[in-house]
Amino acid sequence: MIDTLRLTAEEANRLLAGGQVSSDELYAAYGDAIAARDEELHCYLHVCEDDPGTGIPIALKDVIGTKGIPTTAGSRILEGYVPVYDATVVMRLRARGLRVLGKTNTDEFAMGSSTENSAYGPTRNPWNPTRVPGGSGGGSAAAVSAGLAPWALGSDTGGSIKQPAALCGNVGLRPTYGTVSRYGIVAFASSLDQVGPVARTVRDCAFLYSLIAGRDACDSTTVELPRPVELPTAEDLHGLRIGVPRELNEADGIEPGVRAAVEAAIELLCGLGAEIGECRLPLSVEYGLPCYYLIAPAEASSNLARYDGVRYGFRARDAAERLEMYERTRDEGFGEEPKRRIMVGTYALSAGYYAAYYGQAQKVRTVIKREHDAAFETFDALVSPTSPTVAFPLGERTTDPLAMYLSDLLTIPSCMAGLPGLNVPCGLSEGLPVGLQIVGPQFGENTLFAIGHALEGALGFDPVPERLR
């Protein structure tokens, strides 16, 4: 009997290598779990009947192009779209025998923090189905927590891997910008988008990262890793200096329960031998969110121009002429959030406003990068809450876009600087998971894994939602 709620990918690989379980048995066990629990949770937009391979299964966020398997990015405008090639990350997983279980739910075009912007309905949080799983990668995070996949891939532009991992109580890495190929990924904001792993343990997360990272000739923004990925083993943190940015830890809106869990985790890091000190990121936190909500929509308005009803995806019916076809296709095909961002982005890039909005935001980005560089002269990593709040009720923020945007207040600054960030669960508040965000310098993933692994061991957090135990 395979307990998909508890089985780690590492253990599954060991059982498979030892002949105690077959690839087909593993694949079927997750298929059964999906059949039993996904009607309630709606983690998957598409469940594969089967998928070739000799290894263990994986779930993929539905922005990742999969040959022969529908890929919608949570949007009506891509309804019925079946990619004719695999994304590079998918080819790399297939080369290792991994089998795709299905495609997980996402806010439309990865724009959102709750999956409520999915055109196909929201995903529910496995810890409490009246709460959101976070977003945009809520489907991947909820699937891993609910035992509907041993691990998954997500994508992160301003927090879409880290924030759902925090709200669902699992481990998520947003890698250093440029270390994972985006070839075959539905583009949102190209100077920010990164693909990354979601898993139940830090070691699984590190291993999955090692499978997908590295230069890809099909994505000219990628680079080779300067050092190979190290699977963490150390139980202590002697010799590491960890900074606690005051503004990220004392921001308005951080719930007391979240703050308490994070403070306790920082105490534990100190007990494990790390040297802890305070630092400052004042401009990054104050200007990070407005900077992001100019740059991301501007780039999105350009990337989403390709959805015109000509070559693939949805086309509005019965348009008499071409311009009408474009405009009606886009009006009927895009949901509210992509439209808002296309409008903001188009405005910010339009003649007369470019310098004041997009140009200025790019300069703010330099300021954010410099502040982080300065912090990393003293510290090996920075810690804070990942999300200011635990999982919030469905519907709570859907009518107020700005309230939803605040969900990413603490994840956005490091994304703007292209830095890696790891979410590790660090406790419960109101019976819901709290996540610790660990941010490193560029290519600092191994340090993040080391800190996360030692903390995981010391905390003993049970990642299985209480109601499913």
Chain residues 406-425 in contact with another protein, contact rule CB under 8 A: 416-419
The only residue of 323, 377, 460, 469 in contact with another protein, by rule CB under 8 A = 323
Considering the rule CB under 8 A, would residue 320 count as an interface residue with another protein?
A: yes
Q: How far is the CB of 303 from another protein (least distance, A)?
A: 12
Considering the complex, state which of residue 209 and residue 326 has its C-beta at the smaller distance from another protein. 326
Distance separating alpha carbons of residues 193 and 345, to the nearest angstrom: 16
- Token code pair at residue 259: 């703050």
Q: Which amino acid does the sequence have at 30? A: Y
Considering the complex, state which of residue 345 and residue 433 has its C-beta at the smaller distance from another protein. 345
Phi-psi label, residue 97: left if phi above 0, alpha if psi -120 to 50, beta otherwise: left
Q: How far is the CB of 58 from another protein (least distance, A)?
A: 25
Considering the complex, state which of residue 252 and residue 321 has its C-beta at the smaller distance from another protein. 321
Considering the rule CB under 8 A, would residue 305 count as an interface residue with another protein?
A: yes
Q: Terminal CA-to-CA distance of the chain, rounded, Å?
A: 16
**Span interacting with another protein, options 33-41, 101-109, 164-172, 323-331, rule CB under 8 A:** 323-331
Q: For residue 441, what are the contacts with CB-CB under 8 A and spacing of at least 6?
A: 372, 373, 376, 380, 419
Active site residue 339: no
Q: Using CA of residue 266, residue 272, residue 274, residue 276, what is the dihedral sign?
A: positive
CA separation (Å) from 35 to 38, 40, 106, 230?
6, 10, 20, 36
Considering the rule CB under 8 A, would residue 85 count as an interface residue with another protein?
A: yes
The only residue of 221, 276, 431, 458 in contact with another protein, by rule CB under 8 A = 221
Catalytic residue among 75, 155, 160, 301: 160
The 3-state secondary structure of 306-334, one letter per residue: HCCCCCCCCCCCCCCCHHHHHHHHHHHHC
Report the candidate in 167, 141, 122 with the shortest Cα–Cα distance to residue 430: 167
Considering the rule CB under 8 A, would residue 178 count as an interface residue with another protein?
A: yes
Considering the rule CB under 8 A, would residue 191 count as an interface residue with another protein?
A: yes
Catalytic residue among 75, 113, 136, 384: 136
Q: How far is the CB of 312 from another protein (least distance, A)?
A: 3
Report the candidate in 280, 259, 297, 301 with the shortest Cα–Cα distance to residue 405: 297
Binding footprint of another protein, residue count (CB under 8 A): 72
The only residue of 91, 211, 223, 458 in contact with another protein, by rule CB under 8 A = 223
Considering the rule CB under 8 A, would residue 310 count as an interface residue with another protein?
A: yes
Strands 44-47 and 275-279: unpaired
Q: How far is the CB of 400 from another protein (least distance, A)?
A: 9
- Token code pair at residue 32: 């059964």
The only residue of 319, 458, 459, 464 in contact with another protein, by rule CB under 8 A = 319
The only residue of 2, 28, 47, 82 in contact with another protein, by rule CB under 8 A = 82
Query: Interface mask (CB under 8 A) for another protein, residues 113-152, using x and -?
Result: ----------------------------------------
- Token code pair at residue 88: 């590079």
Considering the rule CB under 8 A, would residue 363 count as an interface residue with another protein?
A: yes
Considering the rule CB under 8 A, would residue 283 count as an interface residue with another protein?
A: yes
Considering the rule CB under 8 A, would residue 308 count as an interface residue with another protein?
A: yes
Distance separating alpha carbons of residues 90 and 272, to the nearest angstrom: 37
Q: How far is the CB of 192 from another protein (least distance, A)?
A: 8
Distance separating alpha carbons of residues 413 and 13, to the nearest angstrom: 36
Distance separating alpha carbons of residues 107 and 96, to the nearest angstrom: 29
Active site residue 160: yes
Instruction: Check if the beta carbon of residue 165 is closer than 8 Å to that of residue 197.
Output: no
Active site residue 103: no
**Span interacting with another protein, options 95-103, 116-124, 268-276, 345-353, rule CB under 8 A:** 345-353
Q: How far is the CB of 361 from another protein (least distance, A)?
A: 5
Strands 421-429 and 381-385: unpaired
Q: How far is the CB of 152 from another protein (least distance, A)?
A: 25
Residues 18-57 that bind another protein (CB under 8 A): none
Instruction: Check if the beta carbon of residue 289 is closer than 8 Å to that of residue 412.
Output: yes
- Token code pair at residue 75: 């949007």
Residues with active-site annotation: 61, 136, 160
